Structure 1
Amino acid sequence: DDTFVALAAPDPDEFRGLCIAMGRPELADDPRFKDHLTRLREENAAALLAIIAAWVRTRTPAEVEALAEKHGFAASHIHNIRDVVEDEHFRERGFVTEVDDPVIGPFLDYEFPVMMSRTPPRVSWTIRPVGFDNEYIMTNRLGKNEDEINRLYQCGALGKWADVRGRRPPPDWDGKAGLIMSRD
């Protein structure tokens, strides 16, 4: 169902807790799993992973986390994009923000994860469309004139976005000057 849980139980007490939570307390005394290093051997790790994976598939991430807390091992739901975007805590922390991108319009995106009071992060825009910097690079970096650039477009050596929202630059774009956006 595309949900994942990360587990960790490296020390003996944590591993015993995991085994009890899985309803398999005998695994804590299995010689293949006697200590962390033995559990990491390829054949032992594969066997243990199969056991844990079969067990995790029968539980929700919340159930696994609750059992981890009860039995003393680490477990955490791995958030997918939908989880992050819909999570109230992430929204309140500002980890998810609505970006009004002049190229593709408004959408939800991850904000910079570090919050600093004097230098708050901001997303000005997300990505440049295909060919956004062509004129600037050809003119200012490679010394090409307008006729040379046009010939490169005509023969297909240079290309640009289709004239579709999300594939073209914002209206205030000036490719020759290298101006990214007037609002920057």
Structure 2
Amino acid sequence: MEQNKNRQPLDGIKVVDLTRVLSGPFCTALLSDLGAEIIKIEPPTGDEYRHVGPFRAGESALFTLINRNKKGAVADLKNPGHLNRVLELAREADVFVENFKPGVADRLGVGYEAVRAINPDIVYASISGFGQSGENSQLPAYDLVVQAMSGMMAITGEADGEPTKVGESIADLVAGLYGSWAILAALFDRQRTGLGVHLDVAMLDCLFSLMPTPVAQWMFSGEAPGRVGNRHPLSTPFGSFSARDGRVIIAVLNNRQFSALCVAMGRPEIAEDPRFRSDEERTRHEPALRDLIESWLSGQTVESAIDTLSGAGIPASPVLEMRDVLARASRGERQLLQTQQHPRLGPVPAMMQPVRASAWARPEPNTAPELGEHDDELFG
């Protein structure tokens, strides 16, 4: 049977989106990329991200990127008439997403029980910092706080340096990603059972789930791992090394690759050194091995080293600056960035969802809505 390549997997799915800032809007943006109709409800003052720069012509770049492909409406949930409007939208929706502090949605009249009362099979997702219950549930949930409490900062940075955050709001983003994943699973489950569900997505839980390596280090030893800089905590050589004109990433995961590295450096005998005969021994003697590798690299440019290593089948790369990454994303065949037409800014970049499917349409991105742009359409 010939596949219809104009379809999107979430065509016909309606999502009421009461989220703001990053975790929730990223979750619903991912759903919108797959064809879901996202109805973004904002307070009269707008989503906080409308007021976070960088700006051009009064428009926030962050808000524009994260709220693509959505319809926008304004509702003051403390106004009974506005609350009823939102509940009427929820009555016809498949999914309801909020990322208020736990308890706030209930107080505003849009909590799970209130929405389920009018739409029993709703898929309702609550995204928060520390979950809907538990000792930390009422703590403020900024990304940096979650990174600090997750242990992610404790294992990031140089061994003799201070804990370092990841260079992006990773806790917000991974919570949004897990939220979209859970919503899709819930929609599939509802198709089989006819039952809705309340999803409790905690930023801390989601970020912790991305750390199997430190858990594995602790698992048998009982000792918590610390920071090791840019090298891998369990495999060596696996990290960043200094060449004549920059840094080279070398990623060796087994003895075969290590032997190939030694040959590529013109030092095949190193592979027979008792200090380096296994991954565990190489990691134990990492400083000595690093000295040998960087002694070779001192006579190599980044480009020549990567040519030699890649030719030998050894995973290697330069450390690209963000300007180079952005240039590649804009012109590359994978279309990580496309151009969208903004009514006030003209053509601006749009981030695309990264998964490519043989039978799904990849439509042109639509820009984020103006505040209250679709009030008339949604509320009459």
Structure 1: how far apart are the matches of 2:304 and 2:362? 37
- Where 2:288 maps in the other structure, the secondary structure is helix
Counterpart among 348, 352, 356 of residue 115 in structure 1 = 356
1:49 counterpart = 2:290: yes
Structure 1: how far apart are the matches of 2:292 and 2:303? 19
Q: 1:68 to 1:100 in 2, by over 3 A?
A: same
- Where 1:59 maps in the other structure, the secondary structure is coil
Q: 1:88 to 1:3 in 2, by over 3 A?
A: farther
Query: Partner letter of residue 36 of structure 1?
Result: D
1:130-182 Cα distance to aligned partner (Å, 9 max, x none): xxxxxxxxxxxxxxxxxxxxxxxxxxxxxxxxxxxxxxxx7x4239x6x9xxx
- Where 2:266 maps in the other structure, the secondary structure is coil
> How do 1:55-66 and structure 2 match up within 5 A?
55-56=296-297, 58-66=299-307
Instruction: Return the offset for 1:11.
Output: 2.8
- Where 1:23 maps in the other structure, the secondary structure is coil
1:80 counterpart = 2:278: no
Structure 1: how far apart are the matches of 2:295 and 2:256? 22
- Asked if 1 retains the 8 angstrom alpha-carbon contact of 2:329 and 2:337, the reply is no
Structure 1: how far apart are the matches of 2:295 and 2:351? 33
Instruction: Return the offset for 1:121.
Output: 6.2
Partner of 2:92: none
Query: Partner letter of residue 120 of structure 1?
Result: R
Instruction: Return the offset for 1:74.
Output: 2.2
1:173 counterpart = 2:362: no
Partner of 2:336: 95
Partner of 1:32: 275
Partner of 1:67: 308
- Asked if 1 retains the 8 angstrom alpha-carbon contact of 2:271 and 2:277, the reply is yes
Structure 2 stretches lacking a partner, 5+ long: 1-243
Q: 1:13 to 1:122 in 2, by over 3 A?
A: same
Task: Provide the alpha-carbon RMSD of the alignment.
Answer: 4.0
Instruction: Return the offset for 1:119.
Output: 4.1
Structure 1: how far apart are the matches of 2:325 and 2:266? 31
Instruction: Return the offset for 1:123.
Output: 4.9
More strand per residue: 2
Q: 1:38 to 1:98 in 2, by over 3 A?
A: same
Greater mean alpha carbon deviation, residues 27-36 or residues 68-77: 68-77
1:9 counterpart = 2:252: yes
Instruction: Return the offset for 1:19.
Output: 1.7
Query: Partner letter of residue 371 of structure 2?
Result: W
Structure 2: how far apart are the matches of 1:16 and 1:83? 32
Instruction: Output the TM-score relative to the length of structure 2.
Output: 0.28
1:10-56 Cα distance to aligned partner (Å, 9 max, x none): 33332122122223333222221112121122xx1132234334544
Query: Partner letter of residue 118 of structure 1?
Result: W
Partner of 1:21: 264
Structure 1: how far apart are the matches of 2:251 and 2:367? 38
